[in-house]
Structures are given as structure tokens and as C-alpha cells.
Amino acid sequence: MRYACSQSHSQRRSIFLWSSSRARSPALLRTGIDLVLEIGPTDGLALARGVALDDYLGSDTRVAVDAECRERYQRWCLRRAQELTVEGVDLTHVWEVELLAECFLPAARVCYGLPRALVSTGAKRLVACHLDPGVAQLAAAVAEPSGVEVVSWSGASVAPESTTRRTPSRLGAMAAKLGVRSHVRGEVLAVPYWNINPLLSELARRRGPKVVASPLPVRDIGARSAMLAARGGWTGMPGLRARRCSRMTVATSLRAVRDTDFMDPVDAAVDRHARATLARLARDTLADVRHARRALRQRQVRLGVLPFDSPAQARILFPALHESGARTLVVQHGFSGRLGDPDMSLADHLAIWSERDRSLAGGRAPDTITVTGNPGVCHLAEIAATRCSSRGCSVVLVDYPGRLSARVESRVTMRHVVTALQALASTRPGSIVIVRPHPSDLAFGAYAMLAAGWPGLRVAVDVRSSIEILLADVDLCVGAVSTATLQACALGIPTVCLDVSGTTRPWPFREGTLPLAVDADTLAEGISLALRSREVAGRNAALDALGVRRDAIERVIELIVEMTR
């Protein structure tokens, strides 16, 4: 790729390539002149059609993109895993989810979408604007073989859209700086999560296996946390000095990995981008693994209970658990949209919500899966099969395309919200509407700005309340493919699923089960019907998909006791 800063060349057949719609104001991005690799969650409607790389992917192509992503990642791991294993920790494996999301899926999108965009626009010159060097090299590897010149431009850019993240408490910040020494006395190491917390509360009050808190819950030390720590201890966390040591070791190891002669220039570009991504993400990995190994070296812990096994925070624990001889149990944490998450693939045993969820663990031996139900929603089994009373308040659970798949178009997020507000404005004028973004969507400031466009509705955005507290104040749910939609329906709230993606969704989020709408008109009809009906349509399907069983907690505890013997 040739680098240049001058704009004196003719731009008539040039196209400017931007990292995302947040790198430049969407209003300034023009079809045939600009192309963005990623659509920000809140820019789906503001961005002109043909500006996004995603616009050049058809339904069949999206399936191929997903396959290409996984295949290229697996080839890369076969070639690099040994070199990128440090102190017995395979960094390519620990950081699989982030590597897929940040490197391999974007690479597959570029491989399939960029040639189509260049042909459609007739561009013979691609100007890379403020791209990460790895992404720019990837674009060059795809474009240059077809005769497209690729250059770099360094003009002024717009500041990225701000996002809001939860800041640690003062106690949590101090613990992260100084570290917390481990103090392990129990047999079951448990990572807290919404579905596992009821298990921990029950185990804390009865005799049996003692639970080791992982880590010491310094953010929010409540009665349950204190009781768990008092009985079974805690794993703690490494401090700043240990993290500095980890960063030096990881950096040295990554610098020692040399460029390899790849026959495919795309493979070479993705390799450099993936290694640079690991250098940024994996700096503290060894500190966490070393700390976990020290905490478990007495081999007292016999079982690790986790809500998932795909994110790095879980995979960092696996080396220490396996080396100590402990077994592992994953308790299903949420409804899966079947969008490429490599979850439930590593643990020795799975506790799943329903028989239908066996498909999430394809290839696993049947005797390593137990259908327990969902321990996080046992209380819903006691709720009568009647709809909630009218409160004149609706919740919109925002759809989300997912980070690990191209199957759902990136524009779906804002289109989903606006379609829902359009239908609610006609069916419930003057009512309150609470917009609930997906937990992975951190750019939620833009949702609050929607209120100005809908003066006939009182629109609010809630990202902090627990989902059941939020649902307690509503009498209508416009849902998406999510656990929260199932919870709303199970609670007796009239629910209509809105799917503007045009893709095939998993049961029960398809026609014939939960009420389904695909546009504002069908949603308005569905809302009117749901509010008139005496029963909540699809509630039995929601209960089944959510894994609601009275004995779910007891069934998982029985499994824990059996696995710790």
C-alpha cells in the first residue's frame, strides 16, 4: 500500500474508506464516495444506503462471511498457537471471542464486501482514512490484486461517538491497584452471574460444598457475598506490580514472533492485525493466570462453576482449574440467538435450560449435558398464567446484530427502535415508552435523543435497572431475540416480537410461537391484539425457552454435589 497525504489527485473515481460511521459525521458520508467498514449501533438510519460495507452483503453472502471468519481463524491458530503460547497459556484460545470480533469477522466482511463495493462504485482508487494499520493492510490485500490503487489519507477526522462504561467503586479501584491475596477454603469455585447468584445464595445457607468467591466481590459486598467469603474464601486478584510483570512478558513474547511468509496476502494482513490486537488485549492475561494458579495450588477446589466458557475472563481460569485437577461446569447464562458464540464448548459438563438447547453443544457426548432448567428464574414458575394489569407504559427491548456474526444486518438496531416508536405512537399515543438497549450497546446516548422526534410519546432510556425491576412497571413489551423478551412474556406482560432483520431467527422467535411483527403496520396490529387479549400469547413457549422449572436450583445443586465427590 502506498502512503500519501496529498488530495491533489483526481477524486472522480476514488472512494474513501473509513473505519466506522463514528469516524466521520454520518451526514457527510456519501454513497459512491465514502465507504464505512462498521455501522455504529445508532447510525443505521442516518447513514445513506450504499455507504456501509454491510450494504453489499446479501443473505447468502452473510452465511459465507461467517464460515470464512471461522475457517480463517482456525487456520491461523494452527499456524500461530504454539508461538503464541506463553507459560502454557494459549493466547489465541483465551482471546478467541475478541479476535473473532475485532479481526477475523471484519476481515471476512472486507473479503466479501469490498470487491462488490468497488465494482458497484467503479472506484479505481481506495483512500484509507485513519484506519488501523492492520485494517489498512487488509484492505490493500483485497483491493490491489484487482487493479485498485490504495493510498492513505490523513485529513482531519470527527471524534468518535462517546460511550459510557461503568466505573469501578473506590474499593474496587484500590483492590485492582494493590491486589487481593487469595484465601481458598472451599471446594467449589464460582463466578457470579445473574443465573448463578440464586445457586450461591442457596449454597451459602446450607451444609455441603463451600463456595469460593471468584474474585473477592469488592464492587458490591452484600450479605450473600460476605457469607460465601466467610465460609469458602476467595480467589482475590493480582495487583498493579503483577500486571506490569505480565505486560513485560507478553510484550517480549509477541515481539519474538516473526512475520511468516503467507501465500495469501490477506492471511498475512490478518496475522499482523491479530498479533497487534493480542498485544493490546492480552497484556494482563499472565497476571490473572498466575494468580489463579497460586490460589488453586493446594488442589482443594474440585469444581469450577461458570456461566460461560467463551469470554477471556472464563478462559483465563481454565488453565488453573485443569492443572489443579478440578472439573468444570457451565450453567447456561442466556438464550442464544445462534450467532456464532463459541460458548459451552470447553467445560466438562453443561447444565442447560431445555432440550432444545442441546443443539448449542453440537458434537458433545450426551452424558456431559444435563437439562436442569434455569436456576435464575425458578420464581417465575409460581406466577399465575394471567396477564399483568394495565399501566400505560411500554418497553422496547432493542435488537442487536451481534459481534460474532454477519447474518444480521448492522443497521438493525436503530431501525428496530424507530419502527417500534412509530407503531406505539399510533396505538398508544401519549404513553410512556422505555427504551432498553442491549447490554453490549454502550452508545446509548443517541436513544435519548429520539424523544424529540416523537412528541406524542414520553420516551425514556433505562440501562441501569435490573430487567425484572424494569418490567415490573410496564404492561407491554416490544421484544427482540433476547432473554429479556422471554422474561417479559413469562411475567405475564403482553409481548410482540419485532424482527426487521429479514433473517431466520431461532425458536420461539419466529411465526407460530411468540407473536411476531416485521414492520410498523404488523407491529401496530400485534400490539392492538395483544392488549385486547385476555391471555398472553406465546407464554408457554417463553417459559419453555427460558427454562422455567421449580426445581432448577435443586437440580443444579445436585449436579454440583455429584461433580465434587
Give me the pLDDT at residue 372, please: 98
Confirm whether 50 is domain-assigned: yes
Q: Is the pLDDT of residue 1 over 70?
A: no
Whether residues 354 and 467 share a domain: the answer is: no
Q: What is the pLDDT of residue 315?
A: 97
Structural domain includes residue 243 = no
The pLDDT assigned to 238 comes to: 93
Asked if residue 517 lies in contact with residue 436, where contact means CB atoms within 8 angstroms, the answer is no
pLDDT, position 222:
52
pLDDT for the residue 556: 97
Residue 169: pLDDT band (50, 70, 90) is low
Q: Is 370 in the same domain as 476?
A: no
In the numeric block, which cell numbers belong to residue 332? 447456561
Q: How many domains in the chain?
A: 3
Q: Alpha helix locations (H) across 122-239?
A: 133-143, 170-178, 197-205, 223-232
Strand-pair partners of 516:
497
Domain co-membership, 224 together with 370:
yes
| 167 band by pLDDT with thresholds 50, 70 and 90 | low
Q: At what angle do helices 265-281 and 105-121 cross, to 10 degrees?
A: 130
Residues 385 and 496 in one domain: yes
For residue 489, being part of any structural domain is answered with yes
CA-to-CA dists, residue 403 to 40, 41, 210, angstroms? 12, 11, 36
Contacts 24+ apart (CB under 8 A), 7-10: 7/153, 7/155, 9/125
The answer to whether 454 and 177 have CB atoms below 8 angstroms apart is no
Q: What is the mean pLDDT of residues 260-285?
A: 93
What is the chain's mean pLDDT, rounded? Answer: 89
- Condensed to tens digits (0 to 9), the pLDDT of residues 444-460 reads 777 777 777 888 999 99
Examine the domain organization and report whether 365 and 386 are in the same domain: no
347 & 463 share domain: no
The pLDDT of residue 449: 76
Mean pLDDT of 284-297: 96
In a domain, 60, yes or no: yes
- Indicate whether 115 pLDDT > 80: yes
Smallest CA-to-CA distance from 447 within 391, 519, 395, 522 is with 395
Domain that holds residue 126: 2-82+92-153
The phi, psi pair for 395, rounded to 5°, reads -120, 135
Q: Are residues 230 and 300 in the same domain?
A: yes
Among 153, 182, 202, the domain-final residue is 153
Cα separation, 150 vs 1, in Å, equals: 6
Distances (CA, A) of 295 to 87, 104, 130, 170, 185: 17, 34, 44, 24, 10
Residue 2 has pLDDT above 50, yes or no: no
Percent of residues, the chain, with pLDDT higher than 70: 91
Q: Mean of the pLDDT values across residues 27-56?
A: 90
Three-state SS string across 248-278, please?
A: HHHHHHHHCCCCCCCCCHHHHHHHHHHHHHH
The tens digit of pLDDT for each residue in 305-335 reads: 999 999 999 999 999 999 999 999 999 999 9
In a domain, 423, yes or no: yes
Per-residue pLDDT of 211-247, as tens digits, reads 998 875 444 445 666 777 788 888 989 999 999 999 9
Specify the pLDDT at position 256: 95
**Shared-domain flag, residues 200 and 340:** yes
Question: Does residue 12 carry a pLDDT above 70?
Answer: no
Please check whether residues 214 and 77 belong to one and the same domain: no
Q: What is the pLDDT of residue 531?
A: 93
3 state DSSP class of 245: helix
The answer to whether residue 211 sits within a structural domain is: yes
Q: 373 and 342: one domain?
A: yes
Alpha-carbon distance values, 268 to 37, 76, 91, 134, 162 (Å) = 20, 10, 19, 10, 32
Does the structure show a pLDDT above 50 at 428?
Answer: yes
- The reply to whether 68 and 217 lie within a common domain is no
The CATH number linked to 176 is 3.40.50.2000
What pLDDT score does 172 carry? 66
Query: Are residues 291 and 372 part of one domain?
Result: yes
| The pLDDT of residue 5 is above 80 | no
Cis peptide before 209 (omega within 30 of 0): no
Cα separation, 17 vs 413, in Å, equals 23
| In the predicted structure, residue 8 carries a pLDDT above the cut 70 | no
pLDDT of 395 above 80: yes
pLDDT value of position 525: 97
Q: Is 537 helix (H, G, I), strand (E, B) or coil?
A: coil
Query: In this predicted structure, what is the pLDDT of residue 154?
Result: 62
pLDDT band, very low/low/confident/very high, at 173 (cuts 50, 70, 90): confident
User: For residue 477, is it within any domain?
Assistant: yes
pLDDT digits (tens, 9 = 90+) for 188-202: 999 989 999 999 889
Give yes or no for residue 42 having a pLDDT over 60.
yes
Q: Are strands 183-184 and 233-234 parallel, antiparallel or unpaired?
A: antiparallel
Q: Single out the residue in 124, 153, 182 at which a domain terminates.
A: 153
Placement of cell 444486518 in the chain? 409
- Can you tell me the mean pLDDT for 97-107? 97
Residue 398: inside a domain: yes
pLDDT bin (cut points 50, 70, 90) of residue 11 is: very low
Reported as type and span, the H/E element at residue 117 is helix 105-121
DSSP string, 403-417: SS-SSS-TTHHHHHH
DSSP state string for 419-479: HHHHHHHHHSTT-EEEEE--TT---THHHHHGGGG-TTSEEEE-SSS-HHHHHTT-SEEEE
Q: How far apart are CA 214 and CA 139, in angstroms?
A: 42
Please check the confidence at residue 46 and state whether its pLDDT lies above 70.
yes
Q: Cα(282)–Cα(98) distance, rounded to whole angstroms? A: 10
pLDDT band at 158 (very low <50, low <70, confident <90, very high): very low
pTM: 0.91
- The C-alpha atoms of residue 58 and residue 70 are separated, in whole angstroms, by 19
Reference 503, options 132, 2, 174, 66; nearest CA is 66
pLDDT of residue 468: 92
pLDDT of residue 9: 41
pLDDT greater than 70 at residue 47 = yes
